[in-house]
Structure 1
Amino acid sequence: MFKLISLDLTQSLASWRLWTLLGWLEVRQRYARSRVGPFWLTISMGVMIGTIGVVYGTLFGMSMHDYLPFLAVSLVMWTTFAQTVQEGGMAYINSGTYIRQAATPKLIYILQVVWRNLVILAHNFIIVVVLIAVFGVKDWEMLPLFIPALVIYMLNAMWIAMLAGLLSARFRDLPQIIAALIQIAFYVTPIIYRPDALKRYAFIVEWNPLAHLIELVRSPLIGQAPSALTWEVTIGMAIVGWIVALSMTGRYLKRIPYWV
Protein backbone atom coordinates (compact mmCIF):
# COMPACT_ATOMS: atom_id res chain seq x y z
CA MET A 1 0.00 0.00 0.00
CA PHE A 2 2.66 2.51 1.04
CA LYS A 3 4.92 1.32 -1.79
CA LEU A 4 2.16 2.02 -4.31
CA ILE A 5 1.35 5.51 -3.01
CA SER A 6 5.04 6.34 -2.61
CA LEU A 7 5.61 5.48 -6.27
CA ASP A 8 2.59 7.55 -7.29
CA LEU A 9 3.77 10.53 -5.23
CA THR A 10 7.31 10.27 -6.62
CA GLN A 11 6.06 10.11 -10.22
CA SER A 12 3.66 12.99 -9.61
CA LEU A 13 6.41 15.22 -8.20
CA ALA A 14 8.68 14.25 -11.10
CA SER A 15 5.95 15.40 -13.51
CA TRP A 16 6.05 18.95 -12.10
CA ARG A 17 6.18 20.50 -15.57
CA LEU A 18 2.80 18.95 -16.37
CA TRP A 19 0.83 20.00 -13.29
CA THR A 20 2.38 23.46 -13.09
CA LEU A 21 1.53 24.06 -16.76
CA LEU A 22 -2.02 22.76 -16.38
CA GLY A 23 -2.59 24.83 -13.25
CA TRP A 24 -1.31 28.02 -14.86
CA LEU A 25 -3.34 27.42 -18.03
CA GLU A 26 -6.54 27.03 -15.99
CA VAL A 27 -5.95 30.42 -14.38
CA ARG A 28 -5.29 32.03 -17.77
CA GLN A 29 -8.29 30.41 -19.45
CA ARG A 30 -10.57 31.65 -16.69
CA TYR A 31 -9.69 35.22 -17.70
CA ALA A 32 -9.09 34.69 -21.42
CA ARG A 33 -9.46 37.83 -23.58
CA SER A 34 -9.59 40.00 -20.48
CA ARG A 35 -7.28 43.00 -20.48
CA VAL A 36 -6.63 42.82 -16.76
CA GLY A 37 -6.44 39.02 -16.79
CA PRO A 38 -5.81 37.20 -13.50
CA PHE A 39 -5.42 40.52 -11.72
CA TRP A 40 -9.22 40.60 -11.55
CA LEU A 41 -8.60 38.22 -8.64
CA THR A 42 -6.58 40.93 -6.92
CA ILE A 43 -9.15 43.62 -7.67
CA SER A 44 -12.11 41.61 -6.37
CA MET A 45 -10.21 40.59 -3.23
CA GLY A 46 -9.12 44.19 -2.65
CA VAL A 47 -12.71 45.45 -2.93
CA MET A 48 -13.91 42.78 -0.49
CA ILE A 49 -11.17 43.57 2.03
CA GLY A 50 -11.84 47.30 1.78
CA THR A 51 -15.60 46.87 2.21
CA ILE A 52 -15.44 44.39 5.08
CA GLY A 53 -12.61 46.35 6.68
CA VAL A 54 -14.56 49.62 6.81
CA VAL A 55 -17.85 48.03 7.94
CA TYR A 56 -16.56 45.57 10.55
CA GLY A 57 -13.70 47.82 11.65
CA THR A 58 -16.30 50.45 12.49
CA LEU A 59 -18.61 47.94 14.19
CA PHE A 60 -15.76 46.55 16.29
CA GLY A 61 -14.43 50.03 17.04
CA MET A 62 -10.98 49.12 15.77
CA SER A 63 -8.27 51.25 14.23
CA MET A 64 -7.94 50.75 10.47
CA HIS A 65 -4.17 50.88 10.97
CA ASP A 66 -4.31 47.54 12.81
CA TYR A 67 -7.47 45.98 11.44
CA LEU A 68 -6.92 46.23 7.68
CA PRO A 69 -3.60 44.28 7.61
CA PHE A 70 -5.10 41.71 10.01
CA LEU A 71 -8.18 41.28 7.82
CA ALA A 72 -6.23 41.22 4.54
CA VAL A 73 -3.89 38.45 5.66
CA SER A 74 -6.77 36.47 7.16
CA LEU A 75 -9.00 36.63 4.06
CA VAL A 76 -6.21 36.03 1.55
CA MET A 77 -4.86 32.99 3.39
CA TRP A 78 -8.30 31.58 4.21
CA THR A 79 -9.37 31.88 0.57
CA THR A 80 -6.33 29.86 -0.48
CA PHE A 81 -7.08 27.15 2.07
CA ALA A 82 -10.82 26.98 1.35
CA GLN A 83 -10.41 26.86 -2.43
CA THR A 84 -7.66 24.24 -2.22
CA VAL A 85 -9.87 21.96 -0.13
CA GLN A 86 -13.04 22.52 -2.17
CA GLU A 87 -11.34 22.20 -5.54
CA GLY A 88 -9.36 19.22 -4.23
CA GLY A 89 -12.68 17.53 -3.57
CA MET A 90 -13.48 17.82 -7.28
CA ALA A 91 -9.96 17.06 -8.56
CA TYR A 92 -10.50 13.42 -9.55
CA ILE A 93 -14.11 13.95 -10.64
CA ASN A 94 -13.24 16.82 -13.00
CA SER A 95 -10.28 14.89 -14.42
CA GLY A 96 -12.24 11.67 -14.81
CA THR A 97 -11.78 11.56 -18.59
CA TYR A 98 -7.97 11.66 -18.30
CA ILE A 99 -7.91 9.19 -15.41
CA ARG A 100 -9.96 6.62 -17.35
CA GLN A 101 -8.01 6.98 -20.59
CA ALA A 102 -4.39 7.26 -19.43
CA ALA A 103 -2.37 5.57 -16.68
CA THR A 104 -1.11 8.80 -15.10
CA PRO A 105 -0.12 9.22 -11.44
CA LYS A 106 -3.26 10.23 -9.56
CA LEU A 107 -1.70 12.80 -7.23
CA ILE A 108 -0.89 14.95 -10.26
CA TYR A 109 -4.45 16.25 -10.10
CA ILE A 110 -4.13 17.21 -6.44
CA LEU A 111 -0.81 18.96 -7.08
CA GLN A 112 -2.44 20.78 -9.98
CA VAL A 113 -5.10 22.16 -7.62
CA VAL A 114 -2.51 23.20 -5.03
CA TRP A 115 -0.34 24.91 -7.64
CA ARG A 116 -3.31 26.75 -9.18
CA ASN A 117 -4.26 28.15 -5.80
CA LEU A 118 -0.68 29.15 -5.08
CA VAL A 119 -0.73 31.16 -8.31
CA ILE A 120 -3.97 32.82 -7.17
CA LEU A 121 -2.39 33.43 -3.76
CA ALA A 122 0.52 35.19 -5.44
CA HIS A 123 -1.92 37.58 -7.16
CA ASN A 124 -3.91 38.25 -3.99
CA PHE A 125 -0.78 38.64 -1.89
CA ILE A 126 -0.10 41.92 -3.64
CA ILE A 127 -2.78 43.42 -1.40
CA VAL A 128 -0.99 42.20 1.72
CA VAL A 129 2.32 43.62 0.50
CA VAL A 130 0.72 47.01 -0.21
CA LEU A 131 -0.92 47.18 3.22
CA ILE A 132 2.31 46.16 4.96
CA ALA A 133 4.15 48.89 3.03
CA VAL A 134 1.51 51.48 3.97
CA PHE A 135 0.85 50.59 7.62
CA GLY A 136 4.12 48.86 8.50
CA VAL A 137 4.69 45.85 10.77
CA LYS A 138 5.12 45.85 14.55
CA ASP A 139 8.24 43.70 14.34
CA TRP A 140 9.90 43.24 10.95
CA GLU A 141 12.10 40.44 12.31
CA MET A 142 9.03 38.20 12.44
CA LEU A 143 8.46 38.30 8.66
CA PRO A 144 10.90 35.45 7.78
CA LEU A 145 8.79 33.10 9.91
CA PHE A 146 6.11 33.37 7.25
CA ILE A 147 8.07 31.08 4.89
CA PRO A 148 8.11 27.93 7.06
CA ALA A 149 4.61 28.81 8.25
CA LEU A 150 3.34 28.89 4.65
CA VAL A 151 4.94 25.50 3.93
CA ILE A 152 3.19 23.92 6.93
CA TYR A 153 -0.05 25.70 6.01
CA MET A 154 -0.07 24.35 2.45
CA LEU A 155 0.97 20.87 3.56
CA ASN A 156 -2.12 20.78 5.76
CA ALA A 157 -4.33 22.10 2.98
CA MET A 158 -2.92 19.47 0.61
CA TRP A 159 -3.57 16.42 2.78
CA ILE A 160 -7.11 17.59 3.43
CA ALA A 161 -7.57 18.07 -0.34
CA MET A 162 -6.22 14.56 -0.94
CA LEU A 163 -8.76 13.02 1.42
CA ALA A 164 -11.56 15.23 0.08
CA GLY A 165 -10.74 14.23 -3.51
CA LEU A 166 -10.61 10.53 -2.72
CA LEU A 167 -13.82 10.44 -0.66
CA SER A 168 -15.68 12.73 -3.07
CA ALA A 169 -14.87 10.41 -5.96
CA ARG A 170 -16.59 7.62 -4.02
CA PHE A 171 -19.40 9.63 -2.43
CA ARG A 172 -20.70 12.27 -4.85
CA ASP A 173 -22.68 14.19 -2.22
CA LEU A 174 -19.52 14.98 -0.29
CA PRO A 175 -18.44 18.10 -2.30
CA GLN A 176 -21.65 19.86 -1.26
CA ILE A 177 -21.09 18.83 2.35
CA ILE A 178 -17.51 20.10 2.21
CA ALA A 179 -18.68 23.46 0.83
CA ALA A 180 -21.17 23.79 3.70
CA LEU A 181 -18.55 22.84 6.30
CA ILE A 182 -16.09 25.36 4.85
CA GLN A 183 -18.70 28.09 5.18
CA ILE A 184 -19.40 27.14 8.80
CA ALA A 185 -15.67 27.02 9.53
CA PHE A 186 -15.31 30.56 8.19
CA TYR A 187 -17.64 31.91 10.87
CA VAL A 188 -16.16 29.97 13.81
CA THR A 189 -12.56 30.78 12.84
CA PRO A 190 -11.10 34.20 13.77
CA ILE A 191 -10.82 35.68 10.29
CA ILE A 192 -12.89 38.86 10.38
CA TYR A 193 -12.65 39.13 14.16
CA ARG A 194 -9.69 38.83 16.51
CA PRO A 195 -9.12 35.57 18.44
CA ASP A 196 -9.68 37.32 21.80
CA ALA A 197 -13.03 38.84 20.76
CA LEU A 198 -15.21 35.90 21.83
CA LYS A 199 -14.26 36.13 25.55
CA ARG A 200 -16.86 33.81 27.18
CA TYR A 201 -16.75 31.52 24.14
CA ALA A 202 -12.98 31.52 23.75
CA PHE A 203 -13.03 27.70 23.65
CA ILE A 204 -14.40 27.95 20.08
CA VAL A 205 -11.05 29.37 19.03
CA GLU A 206 -8.86 27.39 21.42
CA TRP A 207 -10.23 24.04 20.23
CA ASN A 208 -10.42 25.00 16.57
CA PRO A 209 -7.42 23.60 14.63
CA LEU A 210 -8.16 25.93 11.71
CA ALA A 211 -7.72 28.89 14.07
CA HIS A 212 -4.17 27.69 14.73
CA LEU A 213 -3.55 27.29 10.99
CA ILE A 214 -4.66 30.85 10.25
CA GLU A 215 -2.73 32.21 13.23
CA LEU A 216 0.41 30.44 12.02
CA VAL A 217 0.58 32.38 8.74
CA ARG A 218 -1.05 35.57 9.99
CA SER A 219 1.11 36.32 13.01
CA PRO A 220 4.46 36.80 11.19
CA LEU A 221 2.86 39.17 8.66
CA ILE A 222 1.47 41.43 11.37
CA GLY A 223 4.72 41.37 13.33
CA GLN A 224 4.01 38.69 15.92
CA ALA A 225 5.54 35.30 16.63
CA PRO A 226 3.17 32.30 16.51
CA SER A 227 2.91 30.61 19.88
CA ALA A 228 4.63 27.31 20.59
CA LEU A 229 1.21 25.67 20.84
CA THR A 230 0.31 26.90 17.34
CA TRP A 231 3.50 25.41 15.89
CA GLU A 232 2.92 22.12 17.70
CA VAL A 233 -0.73 21.81 16.64
CA THR A 234 -0.12 22.64 12.97
CA ILE A 235 2.98 20.47 12.62
CA GLY A 236 1.21 17.62 14.37
CA MET A 237 -1.78 18.04 12.05
CA ALA A 238 0.51 17.88 9.02
CA ILE A 239 2.30 14.72 10.18
CA VAL A 240 -0.80 12.80 11.23
CA GLY A 241 -2.83 14.10 8.28
CA TRP A 242 -0.26 13.07 5.67
CA ILE A 243 0.04 9.58 7.16
CA VAL A 244 -3.74 9.13 7.05
CA ALA A 245 -4.11 10.69 3.58
CA LEU A 246 -1.31 8.62 2.04
CA SER A 247 -2.52 5.39 3.61
CA MET A 248 -6.11 5.98 2.49
CA THR A 249 -5.10 7.02 -1.02
CA GLY A 250 -2.68 4.09 -1.34
CA ARG A 251 -5.38 1.66 -0.28
CA TYR A 252 -7.96 2.87 -2.80
CA LEU A 253 -5.69 4.24 -5.52
CA LYS A 254 -6.58 1.55 -8.06
CA ARG A 255 -10.31 2.10 -7.52
CA ILE A 256 -10.30 5.79 -8.47
CA PRO A 257 -10.69 5.12 -12.25
CA TYR A 258 -13.83 3.05 -11.52
CA TRP A 259 -15.28 5.69 -9.18
CA VAL A 260 -14.92 8.62 -11.57
Structure 2
Amino acid sequence: MQATVSSARQLWHEHDGGSDISVGLLASHVWLALGWHDIRQRYRRSVLGPFWFTLSTLIMVAVLGILYSTLLGQEITTYLPYLGIGLVVWQYLSACVNEGSTAFIGSAYLIKQIRMPLTVHVSRIVWRNFVILLHSLPVVVVFMFIFGHVPGPEFLLVVPGLVLLLLNGVWIGVVLGTLCARYRDVLPIVGNLIQIVFFFTPIMWTKDLLKDRAWVAELNPFHHMIDIVRGPIIGSTVAPESWLWSVGILVVGFLAAQYLMQRCRNRVPYWV
Protein backbone atom coordinates (compact mmCIF):
# COMPACT_ATOMS: atom_id res chain seq x y z
CA MET A 1 0.00 0.00 0.00
CA GLN A 2 2.77 2.41 0.91
CA ALA A 3 4.61 1.54 -2.30
CA THR A 4 1.50 2.38 -4.32
CA VAL A 5 1.07 5.75 -2.61
CA SER A 6 4.76 6.50 -3.05
CA SER A 7 4.68 5.68 -6.77
CA ALA A 8 1.56 7.82 -7.23
CA ARG A 9 3.25 10.79 -5.54
CA GLN A 10 6.34 10.28 -7.67
CA LEU A 11 4.24 10.24 -10.84
CA TRP A 12 2.44 13.38 -9.65
CA HIS A 13 5.65 15.38 -9.19
CA GLU A 14 7.64 13.98 -12.11
CA HIS A 15 5.07 14.48 -14.85
CA ASP A 16 6.12 16.43 -17.93
CA GLY A 17 4.44 17.90 -20.96
CA GLY A 18 3.97 14.49 -22.50
CA SER A 19 2.17 13.04 -19.48
CA ASP A 20 0.46 16.16 -18.11
CA ILE A 21 -2.97 15.38 -19.59
CA SER A 22 -3.04 11.71 -18.59
CA VAL A 23 -1.73 12.33 -15.07
CA GLY A 24 -4.08 15.30 -14.61
CA LEU A 25 -7.16 13.35 -15.67
CA LEU A 26 -6.24 10.44 -13.39
CA ALA A 27 -5.92 12.83 -10.43
CA SER A 28 -9.71 12.88 -10.10
CA HIS A 29 -9.54 13.18 -6.30
CA VAL A 30 -7.98 16.63 -6.77
CA TRP A 31 -10.15 18.22 -9.45
CA LEU A 32 -13.33 16.69 -8.05
CA ALA A 33 -12.62 18.26 -4.66
CA LEU A 34 -11.62 21.61 -6.17
CA GLY A 35 -14.71 21.69 -8.38
CA TRP A 36 -17.05 20.98 -5.46
CA HIS A 37 -15.23 23.67 -3.47
CA ASP A 38 -15.88 26.20 -6.24
CA ILE A 39 -19.59 25.36 -6.31
CA ARG A 40 -19.88 25.60 -2.53
CA GLN A 41 -18.08 28.94 -2.49
CA ARG A 42 -20.23 30.35 -5.30
CA TYR A 43 -23.45 29.55 -3.42
CA ARG A 44 -22.15 30.05 0.08
CA ARG A 45 -24.85 31.04 2.63
CA SER A 46 -27.52 30.49 0.00
CA VAL A 47 -30.69 28.57 0.85
CA LEU A 48 -31.13 26.91 -2.53
CA GLY A 49 -27.41 26.68 -3.33
CA PRO A 50 -26.69 25.51 -6.91
CA PHE A 51 -30.42 25.03 -7.43
CA TRP A 52 -30.58 28.81 -7.99
CA PHE A 53 -29.05 28.07 -11.37
CA THR A 54 -31.73 25.44 -11.97
CA LEU A 55 -34.45 27.94 -11.05
CA SER A 56 -33.04 30.59 -13.37
CA THR A 57 -32.87 27.99 -16.15
CA LEU A 58 -36.52 27.08 -15.53
CA ILE A 59 -37.63 30.71 -15.80
CA MET A 60 -35.51 31.43 -18.87
CA VAL A 61 -36.67 28.32 -20.75
CA ALA A 62 -40.33 29.04 -19.95
CA VAL A 63 -40.17 32.69 -21.02
CA LEU A 64 -38.11 32.15 -24.18
CA GLY A 65 -40.09 29.04 -25.07
CA ILE A 66 -43.39 30.91 -25.02
CA LEU A 67 -41.94 33.91 -26.84
CA TYR A 68 -40.06 32.17 -29.65
CA SER A 69 -42.64 29.44 -30.20
CA THR A 70 -45.07 32.26 -31.02
CA LEU A 71 -42.61 34.22 -33.19
CA LEU A 72 -41.46 31.14 -35.13
CA GLY A 73 -44.86 29.52 -35.29
CA GLN A 74 -43.72 26.38 -33.48
CA GLU A 75 -45.82 24.04 -31.34
CA ILE A 76 -44.80 24.86 -27.77
CA THR A 77 -45.12 21.25 -26.55
CA THR A 78 -42.27 20.20 -28.86
CA TYR A 79 -40.40 23.48 -29.15
CA LEU A 80 -39.93 24.15 -25.43
CA PRO A 81 -37.98 20.90 -24.70
CA TYR A 82 -35.95 21.48 -27.88
CA LEU A 83 -35.06 25.01 -26.78
CA GLY A 84 -34.48 24.06 -23.15
CA ILE A 85 -31.97 21.30 -23.83
CA GLY A 86 -30.20 23.41 -26.42
CA LEU A 87 -29.80 26.30 -23.97
CA VAL A 88 -28.61 24.10 -21.11
CA VAL A 89 -25.98 22.34 -23.20
CA TRP A 90 -24.92 25.62 -24.81
CA GLN A 91 -24.41 27.19 -21.37
CA TYR A 92 -22.09 24.31 -20.51
CA LEU A 93 -20.11 24.58 -23.76
CA SER A 94 -19.83 28.36 -23.62
CA ALA A 95 -18.70 28.15 -19.97
CA CYS A 96 -16.01 25.62 -20.94
CA VAL A 97 -14.83 27.99 -23.68
CA ASN A 98 -14.93 31.22 -21.68
CA GLU A 99 -13.72 29.88 -18.33
CA GLY A 100 -11.31 27.46 -20.00
CA SER A 101 -9.65 30.44 -21.69
CA THR A 102 -8.72 31.80 -18.25
CA ALA A 103 -8.00 28.41 -16.64
CA PHE A 104 -4.27 29.00 -16.26
CA ILE A 105 -4.46 32.77 -15.82
CA GLY A 106 -6.99 32.40 -13.00
CA SER A 107 -4.96 29.64 -11.32
CA ALA A 108 -1.64 31.48 -11.57
CA TYR A 109 -1.19 31.53 -7.79
CA LEU A 110 -1.42 27.73 -7.65
CA ILE A 111 0.66 27.12 -10.76
CA LYS A 112 3.52 29.21 -9.37
CA GLN A 113 3.48 27.60 -5.92
CA ILE A 114 2.52 23.95 -6.40
CA ARG A 115 3.77 21.61 -9.10
CA MET A 116 0.73 19.76 -10.35
CA PRO A 117 -0.52 18.83 -13.83
CA LEU A 118 -1.97 21.87 -15.57
CA THR A 119 -4.82 19.68 -16.76
CA VAL A 120 -6.08 19.58 -13.16
CA HIS A 121 -6.98 23.28 -13.37
CA VAL A 122 -8.92 22.70 -16.58
CA SER A 123 -10.65 19.58 -15.24
CA ARG A 124 -11.72 21.58 -12.20
CA ILE A 125 -13.55 24.07 -14.42
CA VAL A 126 -15.07 21.42 -16.66
CA TRP A 127 -16.30 19.37 -13.70
CA ARG A 128 -18.04 22.22 -11.90
CA ASN A 129 -19.83 23.27 -15.09
CA PHE A 130 -20.75 19.66 -15.78
CA VAL A 131 -22.36 19.45 -12.33
CA ILE A 132 -24.39 22.55 -13.15
CA LEU A 133 -25.40 20.92 -16.45
CA LEU A 134 -26.65 17.86 -14.56
CA HIS A 135 -28.65 20.15 -12.27
CA SER A 136 -30.38 21.83 -15.19
CA LEU A 137 -31.16 18.98 -17.60
CA PRO A 138 -33.83 17.42 -15.32
CA VAL A 139 -35.78 20.69 -15.55
CA VAL A 140 -36.29 20.13 -19.27
CA VAL A 141 -37.19 16.47 -18.72
CA VAL A 142 -39.91 17.59 -16.30
CA PHE A 143 -41.29 19.90 -19.00
CA MET A 144 -41.42 16.92 -21.36
CA PHE A 145 -43.45 14.87 -18.88
CA ILE A 146 -45.80 17.82 -18.35
CA PHE A 147 -46.42 17.99 -22.11
CA GLY A 148 -46.97 14.23 -22.31
CA HIS A 149 -43.63 13.22 -23.84
CA VAL A 150 -42.17 10.00 -22.46
CA PRO A 151 -38.54 9.25 -23.41
CA GLY A 152 -38.04 5.99 -25.30
CA PRO A 153 -35.16 3.48 -25.34
CA GLU A 154 -33.03 5.97 -27.29
CA PHE A 155 -32.84 8.01 -24.07
CA LEU A 156 -29.94 5.75 -23.01
CA LEU A 157 -27.81 7.33 -25.74
CA VAL A 158 -27.69 10.48 -23.64
CA VAL A 159 -25.02 8.80 -21.48
CA PRO A 160 -22.33 8.55 -24.19
CA GLY A 161 -23.41 12.00 -25.35
CA LEU A 162 -22.71 13.49 -21.91
CA VAL A 163 -19.38 11.65 -21.71
CA LEU A 164 -18.33 13.17 -25.03
CA LEU A 165 -19.40 16.60 -23.79
CA LEU A 166 -17.35 16.17 -20.63
CA LEU A 167 -14.20 15.08 -22.48
CA ASN A 168 -14.53 17.73 -25.18
CA GLY A 169 -14.61 20.35 -22.44
CA VAL A 170 -11.17 19.21 -21.26
CA TRP A 171 -9.29 19.66 -24.53
CA ILE A 172 -11.09 22.96 -25.16
CA GLY A 173 -9.82 24.26 -21.82
CA VAL A 174 -6.27 22.99 -22.36
CA VAL A 175 -5.96 24.47 -25.84
CA LEU A 176 -7.61 27.84 -25.12
CA GLY A 177 -6.04 28.11 -21.68
CA THR A 178 -2.56 27.72 -23.16
CA LEU A 179 -3.16 30.09 -26.08
CA CYS A 180 -4.74 32.77 -23.89
CA ALA A 181 -1.93 32.52 -21.35
CA ARG A 182 0.60 33.18 -24.11
CA TYR A 183 -1.38 35.63 -26.22
CA ARG A 184 -3.73 37.74 -24.10
CA ASP A 185 -5.42 39.20 -27.17
CA VAL A 186 -6.93 35.78 -27.84
CA LEU A 187 -9.16 36.09 -24.75
CA PRO A 188 -11.45 38.91 -25.97
CA ILE A 189 -11.47 37.38 -29.46
CA VAL A 190 -12.78 34.09 -28.06
CA GLY A 191 -15.41 35.93 -26.00
CA ASN A 192 -16.72 37.78 -29.05
CA LEU A 193 -16.64 34.71 -31.30
CA ILE A 194 -18.63 32.56 -28.89
CA GLN A 195 -21.40 35.19 -28.88
CA ILE A 196 -21.51 35.14 -32.68
CA VAL A 197 -21.48 31.34 -32.86
CA PHE A 198 -24.56 31.23 -30.62
CA PHE A 199 -26.69 32.80 -33.36
CA PHE A 200 -25.37 30.36 -35.97
CA THR A 201 -26.15 27.33 -33.80
CA PRO A 202 -29.59 25.64 -33.93
CA ILE A 203 -30.68 26.42 -30.37
CA MET A 204 -33.60 28.82 -30.67
CA TRP A 205 -34.29 27.75 -34.25
CA THR A 206 -34.30 24.37 -35.99
CA LYS A 207 -32.04 23.31 -38.82
CA ASP A 208 -35.07 22.63 -41.05
CA LEU A 209 -35.77 26.37 -41.25
CA LEU A 210 -32.53 26.83 -43.23
CA LYS A 211 -33.74 24.53 -46.04
CA ASP A 212 -31.01 24.54 -48.73
CA ARG A 213 -28.68 26.45 -46.39
CA ALA A 214 -28.65 23.66 -43.78
CA TRP A 215 -24.91 23.30 -44.38
CA VAL A 216 -24.45 26.32 -42.07
CA ALA A 217 -25.53 24.12 -39.15
CA GLU A 218 -23.93 20.93 -40.44
CA LEU A 219 -20.49 22.57 -40.46
CA ASN A 220 -20.99 23.91 -36.92
CA PRO A 221 -19.31 21.56 -34.38
CA PHE A 222 -21.38 23.03 -31.54
CA HIS A 223 -24.55 21.91 -33.30
CA HIS A 224 -23.36 18.29 -33.33
CA MET A 225 -22.24 18.34 -29.69
CA ILE A 226 -25.65 19.68 -28.68
CA ASP A 227 -27.53 17.27 -30.91
CA ILE A 228 -25.99 14.10 -29.42
CA VAL A 229 -27.55 15.07 -26.07
CA ARG A 230 -30.74 16.77 -27.24
CA GLY A 231 -31.74 14.08 -29.75
CA PRO A 232 -31.92 11.12 -27.31
CA ILE A 233 -33.83 13.18 -24.74
CA ILE A 234 -36.53 14.53 -27.03
CA GLY A 235 -36.78 11.26 -28.93
CA SER A 236 -35.51 12.44 -32.32
CA THR A 237 -33.03 10.46 -34.39
CA VAL A 238 -29.46 11.69 -34.08
CA ALA A 239 -27.71 11.75 -37.43
CA PRO A 240 -24.63 9.49 -37.59
CA GLU A 241 -22.71 12.56 -38.76
CA SER A 242 -23.26 14.18 -35.36
CA TRP A 243 -21.65 11.23 -33.56
CA LEU A 244 -18.78 11.19 -36.08
CA TRP A 245 -18.27 14.92 -35.70
CA SER A 246 -18.28 14.74 -31.91
CA VAL A 247 -15.82 11.84 -31.78
CA GLY A 248 -13.64 13.36 -34.51
CA ILE A 249 -13.51 16.70 -32.73
CA LEU A 250 -12.56 14.89 -29.52
CA VAL A 251 -9.65 13.06 -31.16
CA VAL A 252 -8.33 16.08 -33.05
CA GLY A 253 -8.80 18.30 -30.00
CA PHE A 254 -6.83 16.04 -27.68
CA LEU A 255 -4.05 15.72 -30.28
CA ALA A 256 -3.83 19.52 -30.38
CA ALA A 257 -3.91 19.69 -26.57
CA GLN A 258 -1.18 17.07 -26.29
CA TYR A 259 0.98 18.96 -28.78
CA LEU A 260 0.59 22.23 -26.88
CA MET A 261 1.38 20.57 -23.56
CA GLN A 262 4.55 19.01 -24.93
CA ARG A 263 5.67 22.33 -26.38
CA CYS A 264 4.44 24.81 -23.78
CA ARG A 265 3.81 23.05 -20.46
CA ASN A 266 6.99 24.34 -18.77
CA ARG A 267 6.51 27.86 -20.14
CA VAL A 268 3.00 28.43 -18.83
CA PRO A 269 4.16 29.39 -15.25
CA TYR A 270 6.22 32.21 -16.79
CA TRP A 271 3.34 33.39 -18.98
CA VAL A 272 0.82 33.72 -16.18
Query: Normalising by structure 2, what TM-score?
Result: 0.90
In structure 2, what is the equivalent of residue 58 of structure 1? 70
Tell me, yes or no, if the aligned pair for 2:17 and 2:262 is still in contact at 8 Å.
yes
1:41 is matched with which residue? 53
- Cα distance between partner residues in 2 of 1:239 and 1:107: 17
Q: What residue is the counterpart of 2:28 in the other structure?
A: 16
Give the direction of change, closer, same or farther, for the CA distance of 1:239–1:14 in structure 2 (3 Å limit): closer
Question: How big is the shift at 1:141?
Answer: 1.2
Q: How far has the Cα of 1:43 moved from its partner?
A: 0.9
Q: What one-letter code is carried by the residue in structure 2 that aligns with 1:133?
A: F
Alpha-carbon RMSD: 1.6
Task: Specify the alignment match of 1:220 in structure 2.
Answer: 232
In the TM superposition, 1:86-125 aligns within 5 A as 86-125=98-137
Superposed counterparts of 1:58-207, under 5 Å: 58-137=70-149, 140-207=152-219
Code of the aligned partner of 1:55: L
Residue type at the aligned position of 2:71: L
Specify the SS of the correspondent of 1:107.
Answer: helix
The answer to whether the Cα contact below 8 Å between 2:100 and 2:174 also exists between their aligned partners in 1 is: yes
Q: Report the CA distance shift for 1:32/1:138 in structure 2 as closer, same or farther (over 3 A).
A: closer
Q: How far has the Cα of 1:9 moved from its partner?
A: 2.5
Cα distance, 1:178 vs. partner? 1.0
What is the CA distance between 1:13 and its match in structure 2?
2.7
Identity %: 39
- Inter-partner Cα distance in structure 1 for 2:30 and 2:167: 20
- In the alignment, residue 250 of structure 2 is paired with which amino acid? A
What is the alpha-carbon distance in structure 2 between the residues aligned to residue 212 and residue 242 of structure 1? 18
In structure 1, runs of 5+ residues without a counterpart are none
Once superposed, which parts of structure 1, at least 4 consecutive aligned residues long, lie more than 4 Å away?
Answer: none
8 Å CA contact retained: 1:213, 1:230 = yes
> CA offsets per residue over residues 124-168 of structure 1, 9 Å max, x none?
122122123223447601100111111122222321221110001
Instruction: Provide the C-alpha distance between the structure 2 equivalents of 1:6 and 1:243, rounded to a whole number of angstroms.
Output: 11
The answer to whether the 8 Å contact 1:84/1:161 transfers is yes
How many pairs does the alignment contain? 258
Measure how far apart 1:113 and its partner are: 0.6
Kept in 1: contact 2:17–2:264 (CA 8 A): no
Task: Output the amino acid matched with 1:231.
Answer: W
SS of the residue corresponding to residue 73 of structure 2 reads coil
Cα shift readout 1:77-119 (whole Å, capped 9, x = no counterpart)? 1111110111111110000011011111111001001111111
In structure 1, the partner of 2:11 is none
Contiguous gaps of at least 5 residues in structure 2:
1-14
Between the aligned partners of 1:204 and 1:174, the Cα distance in structure 2 is 24
Q: Where does residue 252 of structure 1 map in the other structure? A: 264
Q: Is the 8 A contact 1:139 1:224 kept in 2?
A: no
Inter-partner Cα distance in structure 1 for 2:81 and 2:141: 9
| Contact 1:85 1:160 survives alignment (8 Å) | yes
Structure 2 SS opposite 1:198: helix
Distance 1:112 1:43, change over 3 A: same
TM-score, normalised on structure 1?
Answer: 0.94
